[in-house]
Amino acid sequence: MENKDTQPASNNFIKSIIIEDLKNNKNNGKVHTRFPPEPNGYLHLGHAKSICLNFGLAKEFGGLTNLRFDDTNPVKEDVEYVDSIIEDVKWLGFDWGDRLYYASDYFDKLYEFALQLINDGLAYVCEQTPEEVKLYRGTLTEPGRPSPFRDRSIEENLELFKKMTNGEFPDGSRTLRAKIDMSSPNLNMRDPVIYRIKKATHHRTGDKWCIYPMYDFTHGQSDMLEGITHSICTLEFEDHRPLYDWYLDVLKTPCHPQQIEFARLNINYTVLSKRKLLQLVKEGYVNGWDDPRMPTISGFRRRGYTPQSIRDFAERIGVTKAESTVDYSVLEFCIREDLNKIAQRAMAVVNPLKVTIENYPEDNEDYLEAINNPEDSNSGTRKIRFSKTIFIEKDDFMEEPPKKYFRLAPGKEVRLRYAYFITCKEVIKDENGEVVELICTYDPASRGGNSPDGRKVQGTIHWVSAEYGKQAEVRLYDNLFLAEDPDNVEEGKTFLDNLNPNSLTTINAWVEPMLLQAKPNDKFQFERVGYFCADAKDSIDGKPVFNRTVGLRDSWAKMMKK
């Protein structure tokens, strides 16, 4: 990533274009953008970047943003995807007002545009197969050859297009193509397809149509009909811009939106191909589009990410023309920044080791005071009950510790968070030599974690009462892929060969009793462990399931300080 500053970028080249347009009173001083997803899957992190960009620019310059579904392929589209996209954009914090549109809203008008092109001698019905079209198109170094059907008369083309519309031809047997230039150095200008036959039921128009317009034909005209001023899209559409402009020019439309391209998001250990994400879902490698391991907006939401963290991420990575790969730790930095401010603290032990404090009174009712969030002075405190037997993390004990080891070891003293100093006196093992219990003593005078005699204890560890704590299901999520670039595989392999078999580990952890009252989406910092949230789907009253959002270690921030 080129920008290694942790501060958000304040400017980008698209913003500079808009500022110049406003200075010249282009588009009568208006800024009107749109977010145009295809409803053939759930939105992912790359879409989030585009959403933030389109809505953010319009808001900054006092403009408007439309939400428009590019629903021109009924075979792949579904109402489920429409609903999920609407939910995701709202969750990110953006509002399109009354400007919710569908490309299918314009099917009648697009049909009229197609007839206009035919009547102007700029479109023809072609009977070439897809293989023949590809063969005739030529290559980057060789010009294409004209279709044998290219010089049909206007009358014949009108008649054939009418028959296509009436369903008189089978799927794939005819297309309507623009008549542009088969020798153009830009392959997109070599008589592109405008309409194809698809006898499929559309989720909004039903069976009214059996021909559907192509994206390149639909998009510019939809932008024009909605009065879009800046049509912002990803870099793979840069070669399509001449075609976008050609349609608007030859149709003599009343306004001409400006297409601007930016580099799409690439992030390591992740795939953002909607086709591949669909494959992960359909073949059962994940548990649906909202699986917390998925890079979908709904997956991040369920994992515990906040809208603010996603918006912050989009701002920090900036907008450029150059392709680059963002490190996943940047995203984790953003969610830590947000959750550190808002997440209530709690104690949970995910890998428990029993500790018995031999000199602690059996029936002592001992309540300790814990801070709910040190970053929020208004968050208050809570009471935690202490007991003779507690659990600590196995990783917080070492029988033969190295130098500068500040956690618990035989004969070593540590501080229990909010509680007392304890000293390990005895180690109990099972028949396999595994440590199963520690016998310790405590210093009653060190209540609250401070010693009246001023002795210093460097190590502080967390704990949960074995008598009063509760068990809860905790899901520990890791990267879905083992490789930085999951698509970089040997011949004969696919991105699926890079799946991480340990991307999800489910355990029963010991937690503070108050955590059992957590509601879906409630967010916590399990002290010294990580940030967690109550799962939105599987949590029920009194029995929450906790998803690990992110660990506490902030490698990216440390790297930035070097």
Where does the pLDDT of residue 5 fall: very low under 50, low under 70, confident under 90, or very high at 90 and above?
very low
Nearest CA to 264 among 331, 325, 329? 325
For residues 223 and 324, membership in a common domain is answered with no
Encode pLDDT of 541-555 as tens digits: 999 999 999 999 764
Take residue 160 and report the two structure tokens written for it: 């054939």
Where does the pLDDT of residue 449 fall: very low under 50, low under 70, confident under 90, or very high at 90 and above?
confident
Residue 453: its pLDDT value, please? 83
CATH number at residue 53: 3.40.50.620
Residue 10: its pLDDT value, please? 53
Q: Which of 107-116, 428-437, 505-514, 552-561 is the least confident region?
A: 552-561
Q: Is the pLDDT of residue 147 over 70?
A: yes
- Chosen domain end from 241, 262, 283: 262
Q: Give the C-alpha separation, 19 to 223, whole Å.
A: 20
Q: Is the pLDDT of residue 560 over 70?
A: no
| pTM of the predicted protein model | 0.92
Section 224-247 average pLDDT = 97
Domain for residue 49, yes or no?
yes
Encode pLDDT of 61-98 as tens digits: 999 999 999 999 999 999 999 999 999 999 999 999 99
Domain for residue 1, yes or no?
no
Residue 289 DSSP label: T
Domain for residue 75, yes or no?
yes
For residues 229 and 125, membership in a common domain is answered with yes
CATH number at residue 388: 2.40.240.10
The owner of tokens 């808002």 is: 342
For residues 62 and 138, membership in a common domain is answered with yes
For residues 165 and 112, membership in a common domain is answered with yes
Domain for residue 323, yes or no?
yes
- Chosen domain end from 240, 262, 284: 262
Section 102-113 average pLDDT = 98
For residues 322 and 282, membership in a common domain is answered with yes
How many angstroms from the chain centroid is the CA of residue 527?
26
Encode pLDDT of 333-374 as tens digits: 999 999 999 999 999 999 999 999 999 998 888 999 999 999
- Chosen domain end from 222, 237, 262: 262
CATH number at residue 540: 1.10.1160.10
Domain for residue 515, yes or no?
no
Residue 450: its pLDDT value, please? 84
CB atoms within 10 A of CB 172: 11
For residues 197 and 335, membership in a common domain is answered with no
Domain for residue 517, yes or no?
no
For residues 87 and 119, membership in a common domain is answered with yes
Q: Is the pLDDT of residue 3 over 60?
A: no
Characterize the bridge pairing of strands 32-35 and 64-69: parallel
Enumerate the active-site residues: 38, 264, 274
For residues 337 and 393, membership in a common domain is answered with no
Q: In what order do the strands lie in the sheet with 64-69?
A: 32-35, 64-69, 100-102
First to last CA, the chain: 16
For residues 76 and 169, membership in a common domain is answered with yes
User: Residues 218, 222, 225, 226: what is their CA dihedral angle, to the nearest 10 degrees?
Assistant: 180
For residues 323 and 396, membership in a common domain is answered with no
Section 12-16 average pLDDT = 94
For residues 382 and 443, membership in a common domain is answered with yes
The rounded percent of the chain whose pLDDT value lies above 70 is 96
Domain interval for residue 60: 31-262
Tally of structural domains, the chain: 3
Domain for residue 6, yes or no?
no
User: Residues 509, 510, 515, 518: what is their CA dihedral angle, to the nearest 10 degrees?
Assistant: 20
Q: Longest Cα pair distance anywhere in the chain, in angstroms?
A: 102
Q: Give the C-alpha separation, 382 to 373, whole Å.
A: 10
Domain for residue 4, yes or no?
no
Q: Give the C-alpha separation, 325 to 312, whole Å.
A: 17
For residues 58 and 131, membership in a common domain is answered with yes
